[in-house]
Chain A
Amino acid sequence: MSTAAPEKKEKVVQPFDYNKYLRPNKLPHIWCPGCGHGIVLKALLRAIDKAGLQKDNIVMVSGIGCSSRTPGYVDFNTMHTLHGRALPFATGIKFARPDLKVIVITGDGDALAIGGNHFIHACRRNIDMTVLVYTNATYGMTGGQYSPTSPVGSTATTSRYGNIEPPFDTCEMAKASGATFVARGTAYHAIELEKTIYDSLTHRGMAVVDIIDACPTYFGRMNKFKSATQMMEVIEKENTVNIKQADKLPPEKLQGKMLRGILHKVEKPEYCQQYEEHVIKKATSKE
């Protein structure tokens, strides 16, 4: 007869039920092996779950590109719009129905090149929505052209002799344009990203999350990366520093590195609320 060991209380971690938020019959997705878009999607779904958002009340809007295919796979009210135009479509939806939660999925080319004007003005209005910019420095869907975030000197099918255009810093642009929540994450730091997206979803106002998410198929191959994982380690891990650790590091260690985490958060009047409280109120007052 063996002596019963005292029962060890193990915390049983239930696997997260992604299918609750997916349209499983629309899978497999179109993303290449090694692409981080799936990691970002999973972080987003966990954040949505944590925020307690209801599927019927979520509207996901995207533009055109690899990341913009995301809405097709999720069980929300979903709208795949035109190249660069996700933000104005989303603005119309949110303004018409301020009670709905609007999430915009866009890429760096979609948001900052063809949609650059919409991006700065959506930030300026501070309309309540979460915008996830998947930054891979590439036009993946069209086969690997340079984008507004491609580093100087990088190679693409349209910069065979090295890119000569300086890249945008998405977060600096969002902040300067008036977004009230600006953050950066990477697909490599998936747990941290989930937390960052959660914070963006619970912010009231324009929340922009720049997500560094390398493209191994085009950017990786053309810029001599060895593998998708090596690419993530270099671009997403080694090239970034969490803002909380940045203070402790000497300036030389921060040289050329991108900051992760919440980079800017302020409370300012939200657009739809302002419209109700100022425009409608004044227009309907008897005076």
Chain B
Amino acid sequence: MAENKKKLLQGNEACVEGALYAGCRFYAGYPITPSTEIAEGMSVRLPRVGGKFIQMEDEIASIAAAIGASIAGLKSLTATSGPGFSLKQECLGYACLAEIPLVVVNVMRGGPSTGYPTGPSQADIMQAKWGTHGDHPVIAVTPSYVQEILSETVRAFNLAEKYRTPVIVLYDEIIGHMREPVTIPAPGELDVVDREKATCDADDYFPYDERYEIAPLAPFGAGYRFHVTGLNHRKDGFPTNDPRQIDLNNRRIMRKIDNHREEIWKNEETFLEDAEVAVFTLGSTARSARFAVNKAREAGIKAGLLRPLTIWPFPDRAVTELSKRVKAIIVPEMNLGQMTLEVERCSKKADVIGIHRVDGEPITPAQILDVIKKHK
């Protein structure tokens, strides 16, 4: 077997590697700190494999072009940060309702507004869930390491193609700009899911066929002439005012994710078997938390870590089960309590203690260790 290539990569560069590994062949973007390196990387790498890169006139146009390319059959990516992610929300809702696969990377920086462009945050966790209007399905993956940005970007493409929905890769500026050794996986080493092809006769093809949980999506120009709209629609894609049809479709797009939460959830558990106090966190904060938990163990404290790599759909079950076993769940996050709210919702018995920081500095292991010691 060929030896895998090892490279020293920045998080955003690892995202480029992951996208290309997953078969991404279209990127549309707009410059924004701290995600610009993804656009720069894609502009160099995509043409080498015959892929398309375009710098659009704004963030809205970028995601719109990526959706257009996806309906034309290419795996598509766009990347941004805080304010740009806000601008993309309308199109994100379109992709949810029209069920068009897409990956959107949001490298989180300090907010609100222009905020702190070069500083990290984890304050877009709720924007990722509720940013676009209306009830809609959301999948968001949350890597903590540069290597993981690569593998989670691949997983994001797989989930997008499998569930015909936009998937968000959510990580903070710290790991976006951090450099770590990364092993580029050999072809075949990671699963790559391609879009299910439509094989039926054109007359029998319905882009939102209720006979399927997720109907195959035929690309434009393949002989299946169908209609796509952001209006509530029927199985044939045409708009409807029929309350029954609207209800059916709105519930189906949620159900297609809800029914597969087990497959979409991904958690890493460290020292949780006998833990009495647990930390729940993601992204770069999970790195501080792991350090703090190790230190606590050295001091004889039974601490553990639950790290979600899928934050949406929220890992309800894992948190609920954990809350029955530990005295306290500590939730460090670089925002003022977005995940803490969710953990409180799911926690049955344990106390939930947030650690919040919005000064553009990372949450340190010492900060977390102090709270662990208070709640052991």
Q: Given known contacts A80-B227, A284-B48, is B65 in contact with A95 (CB within 8 Å)?
A: yes
Verify A81–B94 contact, CB threshold 8 A: yes
Q: Which residues of B contact A81 (CB under 8 A)?
A: 64, 94, 230
Task: Tell me whether A217 is interfacial, beta carbon within 8 Å.
Answer: no
- When chains A and B are docked, how far (Å) is the Cα of A99 from the Cα of B54? 18
- When chains A and B are docked, how far (Å) is the Cα of A194 from the Cα of B248? 42
Contact pick for B68, options A56, A76, A92, A283, CB 8 Å: A92
Contact pick for A92, options B64, B90, B223, B229, CB 8 Å: B64
Q: Given known contacts A77-B225, A92-B65, is B220 in contact with A97 (CB within 8 Å)?
A: yes
Of chain A, the residue at the smallest CB distance from B50 is A280
A179 CB → nearest B CB, Å:
15
Q: Which residues of A contact B226 (CB under 8 A)?
A: 77-78
Stretch at the interface among A82-90, A147-155, A204-212, A257-265: A82-90
Of chain B, the residue at the smallest CB distance from A77 is B220
Q: Given known contacts A55-B225, A117-B58, is B47 in contact with A79 (CB within 8 Å)?
A: no
B27 CB → nearest A CB, Å:
10
Task: Tell me whether B272 is interfacial, beta carbon within 8 Å.
Answer: no
Task: Tell me whether B271 is interfacial, beta carbon within 8 Å.
Answer: no
Q: Which residues of A contact B192 (CB under 8 A)?
A: none
Verify B223–A117 contact, CB threshold 8 A: no
Verify B60–A100 contact, CB threshold 8 A: no
Verify A93–B69 contact, CB threshold 8 A: yes
Interface string of B212-223 (1 = CB under 8 A from A): 000000011111
A123 CB → nearest B CB, Å:
11
- When chains A and B are docked, how far (Å) is the Cα of A81 from the Cα of B95? 10
Task: Tell me whether A49 is interfacial, beta carbon within 8 Å.
Answer: no
Chain B: interface secondary structure? mixed
Q: Which residues of A contact B61 (CB under 8 A)?
A: 85, 87-88, 91, 117-118, 121
Verify A92–B67 contact, CB threshold 8 A: yes
A60 CB → nearest B CB, Å:
10
Q: Which residues of A contact B53 (CB under 8 A)?
A: 279
Of chain A, the residue at the smallest CB distance from B239 is A72
- When chains A and B are docked, how far (Å) is the Cα of A152 from the Cα of B57? 30
Verify B230–A82 contact, CB threshold 8 A: yes
Verify B64–A121 contact, CB threshold 8 A: no
Q: Which residues of B contact A59 (CB under 8 A)?
A: 72, 220-221
Task: Tell me whether A185 is interfacial, beta carbon within 8 Å.
Answer: no
Verify A96–B69 contact, CB threshold 8 A: yes
**In the complex, how many residues of chain A place their beta carbon closer than 8 angstroms to a beta carbon of chain B?**
39
Verify B26–A78 contact, CB threshold 8 A: no
Verify B220–A93 contact, CB threshold 8 A: yes
Taking CB atoms and an 8 Å cut-off, the chain A residues in 24-83 that contact chain B are 26, 55-57, 59, 61, 71-72, 75-82
Task: Tell me whether A225 is interfacial, beta carbon within 8 Å.
Answer: no
- When chains A and B are docked, how far (Å) is the Cα of A56 from the Cα of B229? 18
Verify B68–A93 contact, CB threshold 8 A: yes
Task: Tell me whether A18 is interfacial, beta carbon within 8 Å.
Answer: no
- When chains A and B are docked, how far (Å) is the Cα of A3 from the Cα of B106? 88
A77 CB → nearest B CB, Å:
4
- When chains A and B are docked, how far (Å) is the Cα of A72 from the Cα of B65? 21
Taking CB atoms and an 8 Å cut-off, the chain B residues in 220-238 that contact chain A are 220-223, 225-231, 238
- When chains A and B are docked, how far (Å) is the Cα of A99 from the Cα of B221? 9
B120 CB → nearest A CB, Å:
30
Contact pick for B57, options A57, A92, A118, CB 8 Å: A118
Of chain A, the residue at the smallest CB distance from B230 is A82
- When chains A and B are docked, how far (Å) is the Cα of A121 from the Cα of B66? 16
Q: Which residues of B contact A284 (CB under 8 A)?
A: 47-48, 50
Task: Tell me whether B52 is interfacial, beta carbon within 8 Å.
Answer: yes
Q: Which residues of A contact B91 (CB under 8 A)?
A: 82, 85
Verify B71–A79 contact, CB threshold 8 A: yes
Q: Which residues of A contact B73 (CB under 8 A)?
A: 96-97
Q: Which residues of B contact A283 (CB under 8 A)?
A: 44, 47-48
- When chains A and B are docked, how far (Å) is the Cα of A118 from the Cα of B71? 20
B275 CB → nearest A CB, Å:
47
- When chains A and B are docked, how far (Å) is the Cα of A82 from the Cα of B53? 22
Most B C-beta atoms less than 10 A away, residue of A79, A88, A96, A282: A96
Task: Tell me whether B182 is interfacial, beta carbon within 8 Å.
Answer: no
Of chain B, the residue at the smallest CB distance from A91 is B65
B100 CB → nearest A CB, Å:
10
B215 CB → nearest A CB, Å:
16
- When chains A and B are docked, how far (Å) is the Cα of A89 from the Cα of B73? 13
Verify A75–B47 contact, CB threshold 8 A: no
- When chains A and B are docked, how far (Å) is the Cα of A91 from the Cα of B231? 21
Verify B225–A76 contact, CB threshold 8 A: yes
Q: Which residues of B contact A85 (CB under 8 A)?
A: 60-61, 64, 91
- When chains A and B are docked, how far (Å) is the Cα of A121 from the Cα of B28? 14
Task: Tell me whether B353 is interfacial, beta carbon within 8 Å.
Answer: no
Q: Given known contacts A96-B26, A117-B58, is B66 in contact with A79 (CB within 8 Å)?
A: no
Taking CB atoms and an 8 Å cut-off, the chain B residues in 1-60 that contact chain A are 25-26, 28, 44, 47-48, 50, 52-54, 56-58, 60
Verify A91–B72 contact, CB threshold 8 A: no
Most A C-beta atoms less than 10 A away, residue of B28, B47, B219: B47
Verify B65–A88 contact, CB threshold 8 A: yes
Verify B64–A78 contact, CB threshold 8 A: no
Verify A26–B72 contact, CB threshold 8 A: no
B86 CB → nearest A CB, Å:
15
- When chains A and B are docked, how far (Å) is the Cα of A183 from the Cα of B72? 29
Contact pick for A72, options B54, B66, B225, B238, CB 8 Å: B238
Q: Which residues of B contact A94 (CB under 8 A)?
A: 68
Given A87-B61, A92-B69, A93-B69, 8 more pairs with CB closer than 8 A: A56-B223, A80-B228, A88-B28, A93-B68, A95-B69, A97-B220, A121-B56, A121-B57
Chain A contact residues, CB within 8 Å of chain B? 26, 55-57, 59, 61, 71-72, 75-82, 85, 87-97, 99-100, 117-118, 121, 275, 279-280, 282-284
Chain B contact residues, CB within 8 Å of chain A? 25-26, 28, 44, 47-48, 50, 52-54, 56-58, 60-62, 64-74, 76, 90-91, 94, 219-223, 225-231, 238-239
